[in-house]
Amino acid sequence: MFGYNGRILVVDLSDSSSRWESLDSRVLRDFIGGAGLAAYLLYEFCPAGADPLGPDNPLIFATSPLVGSRLTTSSKFAVAAKSPLTGFIGDSLSSSFLAPELKKTGCDAVVILGRAASPTLLVIDEAGVRFEDAADLAGLGTGDTEAAVKNMLGRGVRVACIGPAGENLVRFASISNDGGRQAGRTGTGAVMGSKNLKAIAVKGGASVPVHAPDALRRIGADLTRRSLGDATEKYRNMGTVANMLVFNRLGSLPTRNFSAATFDGAEGVSGEELRTTHHVRNAHCANCTIGCEQIVVTTDGGKQSRGRMEYESSFALGPLVGVSDANAVIRASHYCDDAGMDTISAGATVAWAMECFEKGILTSEDTGGLDLRFGNADALAAALRLIAERRGIGDLLAGGVRDASRKIGHGSEDWAMHVKGLEMPGYEPRSLKTMALGLAVSTRGACHNRSSAYEADFSAHVDRLAVDERRGKITADGEDFSAVLDSLIWCKFLRKAFDDLYEESAEIYGHVTGWQTSADDLRKAGERINNLRKLFNIREGWTRADDGLPPRALSEALSDAPVKGVRLTRRELDDMIDGYYRARGWTADGLIPDGKLAELGLPLHAFS
């Protein structure tokens, strides 16, 4: 077999056992790898109704056929589990050296079941699988944990780990690897914590061979050339932090818990400010020629904080909480990375609490004396620490905005900005109507990455302030496109370097695997993966009522130029959702007809 190992490793932490299972080639062709393979394995291994923080919920790490090929941006992996935030499918991508090392251990994916009796380090290397005591690592941040494991196991080991937030079952805890890269969204770090699994260390042997190395080398060189051209200019020069001022000027920058769409302090936390005052260097993931990562440092003379910064973190810990001091945003972001928390959900949850505080629903007594108002950077820092440690008000906030607002009540559900329990990212849905639909229907909740529906809104192809019939198909097509990217796996920042993603990827996939594959095969795989994700959610109790946006987004008009008076009505959103279901070939209730399942070959039970 080329491009794949053709097997998975199944680990049970409850009895410290492991076994190998072979993967049917049809599964690999149908779900490709990465996010697609992870979705398939989750569907197979997760019992219906499983407690997301119980031992039955599998935690899955999946590599892809392109991992190890040395093609630019291909060193990525997917993590999946039933999300403790949403109760539906949870998945997240991360990147760099862990991905090829994991694949070199001889598996295409690791499925982790059960729960260890005490903190555990799972070691997967050429000698096999070992379960080491990790009591000494308990409570350490992700940076110290990774360093300690590498110190213990030696050169060449790659580590994925959780910080205190994951250990404390913060429902938006992340999994960290390779010096602070995060599988950030949907709370897979809490699932890892629920298993008493502090860290995973991998060290592999030989690379998986590809079918046509010479052809792949030629194509890879051309792709590398294109990755250094116009198609990636923004990412190479400024990274995603360049979004801040543009979104602000367009009235699409969620501010103070989505109560506004522009932020008067945006300049202070902008990409331009970071670049001129805080930038140290650009950094790359393994096998990446783009190098979008902005390494920034604080400059205010306080305790120095140095690390990565990207738009979603700077938005969520800046405008969303009303903070306009770049130094404070940098510290907050790096704290989240080290504690192992998703910056988007963390910032959104603090923003919700700040609004509750300003409205008198949470008091100083509730917050332990914290003056939890918008713009108070010290209160933000303190709140993040309380969340990670689940102390005081942090214990409430560690459940995320949906859980916290249900407990607090007093109408606070209306400004709990989430979809399906996942906190909203930095795209204002009222002034980005296609994105509004993408957020509303995404199977993993309020997600900007699984549809990239914003692309249409930031173009001349649609009127971003109006709704129309086309948005359903645009969103469905975007989801399928993203599913293919996330399964092969290419970095999304490479997507514009392809003239035709499907045609070029089909050729590359053929050279890697030796399997004749067409563009239509890949397009169909993208559709299949999204239908399987939906099928998982339906099994977990999804209904049409789960597709939507929070009340604030559907009841309040925007108040700032250039989007003053712009709103999104429930009827408009419902019409777009109807159009999306039609584009998908689903019923009016959003269910998948038998004919569509048969067309896609779902569900597929290779292990039965």
Partner 1 sequence: METAHRPERPSVRVAVELFGSARLAYGRAAVDVAVPARSRRADVARALAGACPELVGVAIREDGADLAPSYTFNLNGNLFVADEPVSLADGDALLLFSSLSGG
By CB under 8 A, is residue 491 in contact with partner 1? no
Report the relative pairing of strands 76-82 and 59-62 from DSSP bridges. antiparallel
Per-residue string for binding with partner 1, 257-296, x by CB under 8 A?
--------------xx--xx---------------x----
Q: What is the closest distance, in whole angstroms, from the C-beta atom of residue 601 to partner 1 in the complex?
A: 31
What SS3 state is found at 11?
strand
Nearer of residues 80 and 462 to partner 1, judged by Cβ = 462
Q: How far apart are CA 95 and CA 310, in angstroms?
A: 15
Residues 527/484, Cβ–Cβ less than 8 Å: no
By CB under 8 A, is residue 237 in contact with partner 1? yes
Residue with tokens 């009827």: 571
Nearer of residues 112 and 288 to partner 1, judged by Cβ = 288
| Residue whose C-alpha is closest to residue 382's, from 357, 407, 406, 408 | 357
> Is the peptide bond between 489 and the residue preceding it cis, with omega within 30 degrees of 0?
yes
Find the part of the chain contacting partner 1 (CB under 8 A) among 71-79, 102-110, 205-213, 238-246: 238-246
Q: What is the closest distance, in whole angstroms, from the C-beta atom of residue 275 to partner 1 in the complex?
A: 6
Q: What is the closest distance, in whole angstroms, from the C-beta atom of residue 306 to partner 1 in the complex?
A: 21
Q: What is the closest distance, in whole angstroms, from the C-beta atom of residue 149 to partner 1 in the complex?
A: 30
Per-residue string for binding with partner 1, 496-535, x by CB under 8 A?
x---------------------------------------
Find the part of the chain contacting partner 1 (CB under 8 A) among 10-18, 244-252, 390-398, 437-445: 244-252
Identify residue 52 by its one-letter amino acid code. Answer: P
Q: What is the closest distance, in whole angstroms, from the C-beta atom of residue 250 to partner 1 in the complex?
A: 5
Nearer of residues 373 and 461 to partner 1, judged by Cβ = 461
> Applying CB under 8 A, which of residues 206, 460, 545, 598 lies at the interface with partner 1?
460
With b meaning 16 or more CB within 10 Å and e meaning fewer, what string describes 545-582? ebbbbbebbbeeebebeebeebebeeebbebbbebbbe
Q: What is the closest distance, in whole angstroms, from the C-beta atom of residue 286 to partner 1 in the complex?
A: 20
> Applying CB under 8 A, which of residues 335, 415, 458, 509 lies at the interface with partner 1?
458
Report the relative pairing of strands 197-203 and 120-125 from DSSP bridges. parallel
Nearer of residues 232 and 259 to partner 1, judged by Cβ = 232
Q: What is the closest distance, in whole angstroms, from the C-beta atom of residue 463 to partner 1 in the complex?
A: 9
Nearer of residues 272 and 371 to partner 1, judged by Cβ = 272
> Is the peptide bond between 562 and the residue preceding it cis, with omega within 30 degrees of 0?
yes
Segment 553 to 572, residues that bind partner 1, using CB under 8 A: 561-563
By CB under 8 A, is residue 235 in contact with partner 1? yes
> Applying CB under 8 A, which of residues 232, 255, 443, 537 lies at the interface with partner 1?
232
Residue with tokens 């109560």: 259
Q: How far apart are CA 25 and CA 4, in angstroms?
A: 9
> Applying CB under 8 A, which of residues 26, 249, 373, 570 lies at the interface with partner 1?
249
Please name the residue ranges forming H helices in 442-540: 454-457, 471-488, 501-513, 519-539
Q: How far apart are CA 604 and CA 602, in angstroms?
A: 5
Nearer of residues 217 and 492 to partner 1, judged by Cβ = 492
Report the relative pairing of strands 109-113 and 59-62 from DSSP bridges. antiparallel
Nearer of residues 444 and 496 to partner 1, judged by Cβ = 496
Q: How far apart are CA 266 and CA 246, in angstroms?
A: 10
User: Residue 7: exposed, middle, or buried by beta-carbon count in 10 A (0-12, 13-18, 19+)?
Assistant: middle
By CB under 8 A, is residue 400 in contact with partner 1? no
Nearer of residues 230 and 500 to partner 1, judged by Cβ = 230
Report the relative pairing of strands 293-297 and 279-283 from DSSP bridges. antiparallel
Per-residue string for binding with partner 1, 291-320, x by CB under 8 A?
-x-----------------xxx--------
With b meaning 16 or more CB within 10 Å and e meaning fewer, what string describes 385-424? ebbbbbebbbebbbbbbbbbbeebeeebbebbbbbbbbbb
Residues 237/275, Cβ–Cβ less than 8 Å: no
Please name the residue ranges forming H helices in 251-363: 271-273, 311-316, 326-339, 343-358
Q: What is the closest distance, in whole angstroms, from the C-beta atom of residue 423 to partner 1 in the complex?
A: 17
CA angle at 548 for the pair 435 and 595, rounded to the nearest 5°: 90
Q: Binders of partner 1: how many residues, by CB under 8 A?
A: 40
> Applying CB under 8 A, which of residues 239, 399, 472, 550 lies at the interface with partner 1?
239
Q: How far apart are CA 549 and CA 418, in angstroms?
A: 7
Find the part of the chain contacting partner 1 (CB under 8 A) among 82-90, 231-239, 538-546, 590-598: 231-239
> Applying CB under 8 A, which of residues 7, 217, 470, 492 lies at the interface with partner 1?
492
Identify residue 256 by its one-letter amino acid code. Answer: R
> Applying CB under 8 A, which of residues 31, 45, 97, 493 lies at the interface with partner 1?
493
By CB under 8 A, is residue 70 in contact with partner 1? no
Nearer of residues 239 and 472 to partner 1, judged by Cβ = 239
Segment 426 to 455, residues that bind partner 1, using CB under 8 A: 448, 452, 454-455
Q: What is the binding site for partner 1 (CB under 8 A)? A: 230-235, 237-240, 242-243, 245-246, 249-251, 271-272, 275-276, 292, 310-312, 448, 452, 454-455, 457-460, 465, 492-493, 496, 561-563
